[in-house]
């Protein structure tokens, strides 16, 4: 059994990771400053503090692993408030080293780092640099698009993820989805993204807690295949039997043409499909 700290513990990914680590027998501590004004209930699985990072100071040097998931992650918002993204994602990571000391820091970075097209991406890469400088041991995971659910926990805040928004339309909770650009050099003109189920991603993180720091430049967590926006829409229509209304908009600043894993981390074992993610999200949306 390890003692593990999870930052962003009540968020979408954090809540899944906390539950899994606790079920594996680890002692889990969680902190979160609750950006969204709501949180997933993880108190059953960990000792939790909201808005109080100083709570971890008394455990300094005692954590076997720290999973650093806390941060800002909405690309369009980062274009409007870049200073907030550098403050939270970059300086927040630097500040973490004032409170913790661990041989195994696991960091949630982003596939957007490959394009560097937004302040969000750049803030994450800067945090990666800080970790490489200051950590005793680290694993930097660049997450691709995460979706799905374990049936208990969900994405928080305004819906910005494509699969979630498609599920909202299918469930009658949103009138349509916007498609930003249909003139990209792809098979149907829309952007291509790689998707991974949150359960598979959480399992990869849990494995890295148990196996220790990899100290590589970065590790990719994705589904190892790319889907266009329209292909995701079609997948949601297939699994739900519902028509998804789409509205074509112009290209959106900060969007890369294609973002697909080319070197999947050895920590990943893929068990879920795009259809699983769509169906999970749809079932969850029906309960809201």
Q: 200-219 pLDDT, tens per residue?
A: 999 999 999 999 999 999 99
The secondary structure of the chain in percent helix, strand, coil, rounded to multiples of 5, reads 40, 20, 45
Mean pLDDT (whole number) for 109-118 = 92
Q: How far apart are CA 2 and CA 209, in angstroms?
A: 8
At a CB cut-off of 8 Å and minimum separation 6, what does 210 contact?
2, 24
Per the structure block, which two tokens stand in for 108?
């949630």
Task: Give the residue carrying structure tokens 């002692």.
Answer: 27
Give the chain's mean pLDDT: 93
Q: What would the DSSP string read from start to end of 137-191?
A: SEEEEEE-EEE---SS----SS--SHHHHHHHHHTTSSS-EEEE-S-SSSSSSS-
DSSP assigned state of 264: B
Q: How far apart are CA 77 and CA 288, in angstroms?
A: 25
Digit-coded pLDDT (tens) for 228-253? 999 999 999 999 999 999 999 999 98
Strand-strand pairing, 219-221 and 138-143 = parallel
Q: What is the pTM of this model?
A: 0.94
Q: Give, in degrees to the nearest 5, the angle at Cα 200 between 225 and 148.
A: 80
Percentage of the chain modeled with pLDDT above 90? 82
Task: Mark out the alpha helices in 58-118 (DSSP H runs).
Answer: 75-80, 82-85, 92-96
Digit-coded pLDDT (tens) for 141-186? 999 999 999 989 999 888 889 999 999 999 999 999 999 999 999 9
- 3-class SS at 28? strand
Per the structure block, which two tokens stand in for 168?
């909202």
Mean pLDDT (whole number) for 181-195 = 98
pLDDT range class, residue 59, cuts 50, 70, 90: low
Q: Is the pLDDT of residue 56 over 90?
A: no
Q: How far apart are CA 208 and CA 17, in angstroms?
A: 12
More confident residue, 108 or 57: 108
Spell out a b/e string for 242-273, using b for 16 or more CB atoms within 10 Å of the CB, else e.
bebebeeeeeeebbbeebbbeebbebbeeebb
pLDDT range class, residue 102, cuts 50, 70, 90: very high
Question: What's the CATH number of domain 3-286, 1.10.10.60, 3.40.50.1000, 3.40.50.460, 3.40.50.720?
Answer: 3.40.50.720
N residues, the chain: 288
pLDDT at 22: 97
């Amino acid at each position: 059994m390890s003692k593990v700290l999870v930052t962003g513990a009540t968020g979408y990914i954090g809540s899944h990771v906390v539950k899994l680590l606790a079920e594996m027998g680890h002692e889990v501590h969680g902190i979160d400053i609750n950006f969204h004004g709501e949180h997933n209930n993880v108190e059953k699985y960990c000792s939790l503090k909201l808005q109080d990072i100083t709570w971890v100071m008394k455990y300094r040097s005692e954590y076997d692993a720290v999973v650093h998931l806390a941060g800002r992650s909405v690309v369009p918002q980062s274009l409007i408030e870049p200073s907030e993204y550098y403050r939270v994602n970059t300086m927040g990571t630097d500040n973490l080293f004032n409170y913790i000391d661990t041989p195994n820091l696991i960091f949630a970075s982003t596939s957007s780092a490959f394009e560097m097209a937004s302040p969000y991406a750049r803030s994450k890469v800067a945090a990666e640099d800080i970790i490489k400088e200051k950590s005793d041991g680290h694993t930097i995971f660049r997450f691709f698009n995460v979706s799905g659910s374990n049936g208990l926990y969900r994405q928080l805040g305004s819906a910005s993820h494509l699969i979630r928004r498609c599920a909202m339309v299918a469930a009658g909770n949103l009138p349509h989805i916007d498609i930003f650009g249909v003139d990209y050099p792809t098979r149907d003109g829309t952007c291509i993204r790689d998707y991974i189920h949150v359960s598979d991603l959480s399992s990869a993180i849990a494995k890295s807690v148990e196996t220790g720091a990899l100290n590589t430049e970065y590790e990719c967590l994705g589904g190892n295949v790319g889907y266009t926006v329209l292909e995701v829409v079609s997948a949601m229509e297939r699994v739900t039997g519902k028509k998804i209304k789409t509205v074509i908009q112009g290209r959106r600043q900060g969007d890369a043409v294609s973002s697909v894993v080319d070197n999947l981390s050895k920590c990943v074992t893929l068990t879920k499909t795009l259809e699983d993610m769509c169906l999970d999200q749809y079932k969850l949306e029906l309960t809201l």
